[in-house]
Structure 1
Amino acid sequence: MTLTHFDARSVLSVEFTKSQIVASVPGFFFCMWYASKKHWLANNVLGIAFCIQGIEMLSLGSFKTGAILLAGLFVYDIFWVFFTPVMVSVAKSFDAPIKLLFPTADAARPFSMLGHELMQC
């Protein structure tokens, strides 16, 4: 029976580059602006940033894998958007930057979400 040495410093070791530290400062204040004001522009920028980060983290081995993934997501999106009310109800009830909001001139419905009118978000 072999016992291995557990080093807490190696488990909790975190490294940052200079560019990550520089980018974290405005990012922190931008997130605080969204958390305090829930402004539509901050919502959109954070939503786009989450999408870009997700795309950067995705690594595909081949063109065929990417094509299969996109075809599956296409069918998935068509089903959940057009054949069920799930997407709109989740977007209306979930208060997070997961949707793009656009201001309208209508006071009763101040935001539009990709063609779907929303009540006050």
Structure 2
Amino acid sequence: MHTSNSPAVQALFLFLSENNEGLQNAALVLGGSHALKRVQNLLDHLGAARKLSRCARMDLVALHELFTLKYVGDPERLETALFSEIDPMDPMVDEICLLTDRLEDHMRAIDAASDLPVFDFGIAA
């Protein structure tokens, strides 16, 4: 895929780099140690490879799903238990919402700049 050097991909890399700590904290709070490890691996990979590999795309989708609370509500999922422990008034909630919106904006921009959808959010904006 030749999107790796596109301005949209470079903007995503910059966002991830600049928000490294916040992304890791949010992943830990919303998904536990497994989610934290996955984000750390993603950040390490993108920092070293500077390429949007298939694995990195899958990790970004998983991060987006975690941040958008896709699995909250399923009593069998750790995300549900962790989410129930978050105080809605905690300032961290606003930071997570901002990170989520910005991550999705970057992913959508990559899709818009690609011949084929990379993350496939569909047509709706």
- State TM-score, norm by structure 2: 0.28
Rg comparison, structure with higher value: 1
* Structure with the bigger percentage of helix: 2
Ranked by relative contact order (alpha carbons within 8 Å, sequence separation 6 or more), the top structure is 2
